[in-house]
Structure 1
């Protein structure tokens, strides 16, 4: 059950799902646990619970709705997707034993037999179709090219999808944890609200108990089709303060700390009782530039000048302590259909000044930079603020809640630049390209509109011929580079800290780190 993962180093563990109570789990017990069994057989004893901490609580445990990274850390253990990735980013089968494009408009999915949900119900084609319809109702754009009302269960383990237009990259969506398969009968029995409180899936762990805003405990699902997880319990604690997560790791209160602040990396590396884990990610940190601004930002030469004036490597070193890779495309290099731009806007202050002069802006102008209130984001904006001063741009940093920023941009408020990130969760470029640049799309926060780009994009979506797709994709990337509605800064590296006794954890490029085979040995 690999969910777009990069194998790095510890051991996977698993989870199973049951009801929810408000009392603390007895996960610390040792009777009849893998650890006790190992001790009896003379093997190294393992803990029966792995505890990890992350910064934010979940908004929901419904995979179709909870599409944020903070949800994936839990739901990827509770649900299975039809397809997944191996550690080399190759597609592999999960709940779908195989798939076949019958023709350009028909996809057949062959569902694995013998899979059960946590309540014992068998997983069938009807559950897959139900989940697909839930995805459509949640607003996913795939309903624009799939005939959702004509999804067909050929038999209990065969799903036929009928497309209204060709869409060869669709299968990559099926790796996204947001496509975790849900049980139709149970969902309809308890309703959406009931399911949100007591969800079940078919993954290696099931929900045991939780206290919102505090912790979530999962229990191993013994009947998991891939075999039981190696550790009996998996607990996620919500610890907003990054420094506190590091302290809890140092004192042994938790086994794994997510989202380790860059400044704490050396502290973990130098601690003989801990191990430092890292993996490339699918996340690109980027600036949106308001192409419809009343300021000179509406001139692409000014936008290009800004990118030339930004020393991206300096940001990676100063803010990220070297944990990042400079980016010139809006998708990571590891995704399918990534293409490098031919003439990237590499840091060149003299080129930036020349472009400003050419645009009639040698004396500069004033604008606002919007960002959410994280330490890293603020530090990035401060570095950018200083760098833009070199081309006479007076940038005022305005810190706001992320939801407020989105709402103000959607409302059409005036702004200059806005710091965001985008994570390509499906591992395919379409995931990002479909939202950021086409006219009127969900997260086209730059308000960019190009008839040439739109024509290439919509043709690319439905083109099956690989050579033609490649040509269209090149056009799209080059337009993005030339028009510069978005400035990619860097590809984030995810860093975690863990006890030295952890083995088998499989790190994920989208943050859905996999504990299915993980163990923590007892000294």
Structure 2
């Protein structure tokens, strides 16, 4: 009996000791070490090559894997990253960057001037056919090494937003060793110098990034970050509420107010420079007629979209770029006027019952499918027969990248990661723009966009972009919809997660307690 009592007391002491340790560490306390963060997004990345990625979901991930020369801080100010200092020549056509010393890529190779040059040579080479080539190739002539840790960018002309453009996530620096070995395969097996490194990617299920223990900067506070694609709004919300996910994006508009009352979850709103729009194939009848494009703008009730679908969490766009983007000027929205829309359609010779196709992703943007269904109803109300199709994000991107796929109308958005009008307008509205899926072409606008990126005087640039925005509104290659806010759902035991004005989901400082 004495032995039995002694055994029971000893067992009780072990249990109490364990409970005490847990109480001191809290839920997921520091005693247990760094944790895994689970992030549920509305879709999955398409590419982990920052130089070949054109979608925001991919860039959420690449910003964890790759460092850039410079970056934006929380206040959208340019701050050092791999470059500790920089200077420009008197004529503004040469920019020299001095690199931090001792930084390494995740494969152990050094981050030096040779690596920076190799990374930019890769994207400047037109034979590589990388999606973000024009972001840099339009203004960079070449890159030279001055010393082991000093590199100079030689420009074709003085380019005002050079630092903002280098801070774009597409400016991530590759390991030259990995890029040479993998070629295009780096999109599935990337190596950068960032705080998290690639571990595995099971398409449709999860992307796992693990902490880089040899990171040259502030050490990551998590063991790993797992990104899961969850298309269904209700499923994403449930994962957050049950703790299956620590972070979700986007938060469904219908769930925002309810989640705000939770003692386990926080919903944080961040202003975004993302505009949501419905693009039109302007090379295809009837959208090759400007009256038809204007009619579609009059046909859509933006105020009801804001109030009923977005639940007040957006506002009608006042221009083709957001008011948060440098170079914005308000040119106004098209009023909701279905009778005006019918009049313009009649003048353009469009017969009632004309069939058009409307495509949308589901889960990529806040209430995207619901918004597209509302637009479908608006267009049917002015006489169109609208064929509706929803897509998985990756397949959707491929389809709208190919004009031969047969799209008429497509829901998409554009955030401006440089926060400068140049990259708001040049890719979308220049006749050779890399994101010009509307196939819109206007010689006067091309001239203004070209002039805007070659002008360094800020006041002159603003006037140029104001004129460009007026032309875009009048020509209406988009149905201009709403300017969005970004809502991020976060478990309350997670800190250091935030959104930027350029609508990046910033996870580098995240910690889970």
Q: Same fold (TM over 0.5)?
A: yes
Map of 2:225 onto structure 1: 234
Q: Number of paired residues?
A: 478
CA deviation profile, 1:98-124 (whole Å, cap 9, x unmatched): 332212322222222232222333211
Residues 200 and 386 from structure 1, CA distance in 2 versus in 1: closer, same or farther, beyond 3 angstroms?
Answer: closer
Residues 95 and 214 from structure 1, CA distance in 2 versus in 1: closer, same or farther, beyond 3 angstroms?
Answer: same
Gaps in structure 1 of 5+ consecutive residues: 1-34
Q: Is the 8 A contact 1:55 1:259 kept in 2?
A: yes
Cα distance, 1:194 vs structure 2: 6.5
Cα distance, 1:379 vs structure 2: 2.3
- Aligned-residue Cα RMSD (Å) equals 3.2
CA deviation profile, 1:202-247 (whole Å, cap 9, x unmatched): 1122334554443333333344333212233323234444332322
Residues 162 and 277 from structure 1, CA distance in 2 versus in 1: closer, same or farther, beyond 3 angstroms?
Answer: same
1:497 to 484, 489, 493: 489
Q: Does 1:192 align with 2:180?
A: no
CA deviation profile, 1:294-321 (whole Å, cap 9, x unmatched): 33x4443443333233221211222222
Alignment of 1:346-365 (within 5 A): 346-349=335-338, 352=341, 359=347
More RCO (CA 8 Å, sep 6+)? 1
Measured in 2, the distance between the counterparts of 1:442 and 1:194 equals: 22
Q: Does 1:268 align with 2:259?
A: yes
Measured in 2, the distance between the counterparts of 1:212 and 1:291 equals: 34
CA deviation profile, 1:458-512 (whole Å, cap 9, x unmatched): 2222222333322221211111112222222012222232222222212234554
Gaps in structure 2 of 5+ consecutive residues: 1-20
Map of 1:129 onto structure 2: 117
Q: Does 1:428 align with 2:423?
A: no
TM-score (norm 1): 0.81
2:34 to 48, 67, 73: 48
1:106 to 94, 104, 113: 94
Q: Does 1:69 align with 2:56?
A: yes
Q: Is the 8 A contact 1:47 1:519 kept in 2?
A: no
Measured in 2, the distance between the counterparts of 1:406 and 1:519 equals: 35
Q: Is the 8 A contact 1:504 1:519 kept in 2?
A: yes
Residues 405 and 393 from structure 1, CA distance in 2 versus in 1: closer, same or farther, beyond 3 angstroms?
Answer: farther
TM-score (norm 2): 0.83
Cα distance, 1:165 vs structure 2: 3.1
Map of 2:384 onto structure 1: 394
Measured in 2, the distance between the counterparts of 1:487 and 1:218 equals: 38
- Secondary structure of 2:164 counterpart: helix
1:259 to 240, 244, 250: 250
Residues 363 and 39 from structure 1, CA distance in 2 versus in 1: closer, same or farther, beyond 3 angstroms?
Answer: closer
Alignment of 1:225-374 (within 5 A): 225-295=216-286, 297-341=287-331, 343-349=332-338, 352=341, 359=347, 366-374=354-362
Q: Is the 8 A contact 2:247 2:488 kept in 1?
A: yes
Measured in 2, the distance between the counterparts of 1:127 and 1:350 equals: 60
Map of 2:449 onto structure 1: 457
2:139 to 140, 145, 152: 145
Map of 2:10 onto structure 1: none
Cα distance, 1:132 vs structure 2: 0.8
CA deviation profile, 1:409-428 (whole Å, cap 9, x unmatched): 84467765332222322222
Greater displacement, 223-232 / 309-318: 223-232
Map of 1:17 onto structure 2: none
Residues 212 and 371 from structure 1, CA distance in 2 versus in 1: closer, same or farther, beyond 3 angstroms?
Answer: closer
Alignment of 1:77-116 (within 5 A): 77-102=64-89, 103-116=91-104
